[in-house]
Amino acid sequence: MRSFIERIDYFKGNDPEELAKKFGTPLYVYNEDIIRDRMTKVANVITKYPYRANYSCKTNTNLSVLKIAIETGLNADAMSEGEMRMLLKAGFTPDRIFYVCNNVSADEMKFAIDNGITVSLDSLDQLKLFGSINRGGSCSVRINPGVGAGHHEKVVTAGKKTKFGISEEDIDSIFKIAAEYDLKITGINQHVGSQFLDPAPFLAAVDNLLRIAMRFKDLEFIDFGGGYGIPYHKLDDEKEFDMDQFSREFTAKLDRFVAEYGSAPLFKSEPGRFCVAEGGVILGRVYSIKENSGIKYVGTDVGMNVLVRPSMYDSWHDIEIIRNGSVVGREDGLMEKVTVCGNICESGDVLCKDRELPVVKDDDLICVLDAGAYGYSMCSSYNTRLRPAEVLITSDGTAKLIRRRETFDDMFALYDFT
Ligand code: LLP
């Protein structure tokens, strides 16, 4: 139950109140050491065979985060032309980018092809489209292994009830289309879902994909997708994903496959959340406290436009209260049940409901933990609100502005007002 931000000195000696005053709230604040540590961990999951972790940049495409991913030796996966462009601008070479798209136009596919980026095709139709614009080319196919996993129905990305991938029953059709367009299937990939702390479903899906891989000859790579979870309930001592144990079990499965397949293709995974979630928090300001029908509402500037996960998936994010630069301890303060909400005109604009927190006062800061993944990257300008700034606490303790707050001029620049 001890404060996370104090225990690990998250702000590295910077006063969060000063950061809030200097850069304004709401404010994303990242910690470089944590991001580096997690990225290094995923880079070394498999050491016995050729292995690469692709950082799944949909979680956080901030330029500084991408540069850390390059420095820690990660490749990256992209989901859109925008993500490919961002990765190229950050310095990823095309051979380090994997484009895992679905339902895209020929133009978008062509962007990948023209830039030498490997494409994963998510349906037979998309495979045909790829063949028609790149006859004789090479590609990967995304397999839907028939089972999925994840923290919420909306993040399960495999199984009978999702839009993703090509079913195992259609593998013969893959070969037929490949022959028709003279395509070389150099890789297969999957992604079963997101945020699992128990590695069992992922490992079961590894077995499944390796079994399917036996049907493909001369694979250059097999990509098992992402999904490693993080402890969102860290103030309640939730335990972390056991990377060491996972790594041993994963390797044992690859051992059996390599013996049977006769060679070791490049093995890959696509972690996103694990790399960045814990290395990001949001600082927000409390502007109003009121009671409606017996419920105490803490009104802040951290709306669903800034962090949509609680509204979208009922996701839990731990919250710490900061007063005059110091964390208000749970052990030394009075606790009360409150509902913390944002400043958006939606009743679903709620960060947490009936949450036991130290008694909050006007002008306190809230610090929303584990916001580095699917935080800023899912921001919106709903209610014509500006996207927040992002600050990185670098390894030497400097608080560096790594993306400025949006301005109204940025927002209105899309219109012709004449
Ligand atoms: N690879 C593919 C093809 C994916 O679709 C995803 C995530 C990943 C890798 C990375 O998964 P991760 O390691 O981050 O779990 N917005 C939701 C999560 C959606 C995940 C979508 N795909 C959330 O905030 O929980």
Q: Cα 117 from chain centroid?
A: 21
Using the atom order of ligand 1, give the atom closest to the CA of residue 274. Answer: 13
Average pLDDT over residues 176-192: 97
User: For residue 224, what pLDDT is reported?
Assistant: 97
Kindly state the helix (H) or strand (E) to which residue 257 belongs, with its residue range.
Answer: helix 243-261
- Ligand 1 pocket mutation, candidates 191, 282, 317, 374, criterion most atoms within 8 A of CB: 191
pLDDT of 405 over the 90 cut = yes
Active-site position among 57, 139, 275, 345 = 345
Do the strands 319-323 and 365-368 form a parallel or antiparallel pair, or are they unpaired? antiparallel
Say what percent of the chain tops pLDDT 70: 96
Per DSSP, the residues of 5-39 read HHHTTTTTT--HHHHHHHH-SSEEEEEHHHHHHHH
pLDDT at 148: 63
Q: How confident is the model at residue 192 (pLDDT cuts 50, 70, 90)?
A: confident
Please check the confidence at residue 155 and state whether its pLDDT lies above 70: no
* Confidence band, pLDDT 50/70/90 cuts, at residue 151: low
Is any atom of ligand 1 closer than 6 Å to the C-beta of 307?
Answer: no
Asked if pLDDT for residue 194 goes beyond 70, the answer is yes
Task: Give the model's confidence band at 146: pLDDT under 50 very low, under 70 low, under 90 confident, else very high.
Answer: confident
Pocket lining: 56 vs ligand 1, CB cutoff 6 Å: yes
Q: What is the dihedral of CA 73, 403, 381, 154, to 10 degrees?
A: 20
Residue 201 in contact with ligand 1 by CB distance below 6 A: no
Residue-level pLDDT at 158: 66
The structure tokens listed for 54 are 């692709």
Per-residue pLDDT reduced to its tens digit, 362-386? 999 999 999 999 999 999 999 999 9
Task: Supply the mean pLDDT for the chain.
Answer: 95
Q: Does residue 284's CB lie within 6 angstroms of at least one atom of ligand 1?
A: no
pLDDT of residue 381: 97
| Environment class of 177 (CB within 10 Å of its CB; exposed 0-12, middle 13-18, buried 19+) | buried
Q: Ligand 1 mean position to 289 CA, how many Å?
A: 35
Residue range 139-158: mean pLDDT, rounded = 76
**Per-residue pLDDT tens over the stretch 228-238:** 999 999 999 99
pTM for this entry: 0.96
The response to whether residue 270 sits with its C-beta less than 6 Å from ligand 1 reads yes
Residue given tokens 């009121």 in the structure block: 290
Q: 281 near 29, Cβ under 8 Å?
A: yes
pLDDT at residue number 331: 72
Which atom of ligand 1 is the closest one to the Cα of 157?
5
Confidence grade of residue 226 (pLDDT, cut at 50, 70, 90)? very high
> 157 falls in which pLDDT band (50, 70, 90)?
low
So what's the pLDDT on residue 334?
87
pLDDT, residue 162, reads 76
For 4-29+277-412, CATH number? 2.40.37.10
pLDDT per position as a tens digit, 324-360: 999 998 876 689 999 999 999 999 999 999 999 999 9
Which residue is closest in CA terms to ligand 1's atom 18? 155
What's the CATH superfamily of 101-269? Alanine racemase (3.20.20.10)
Vertex 122: Cα angle to 118 and 126 (nearest 5): 85
Q: Active-site residue 345, yes or no? A: yes
Residues 253-277 have a mean pLDDT of 97
193 vs 408, higher pLDDT:
408
Q: What would the DSSP string read from start to end of 101-139?
A: --S--HHHHHHHHHTT-EEEE-SHHHHHHHHHHSTT-EE
Query: Structural domain boundaries of the chain?
Result: 4-29+277-412, 101-269
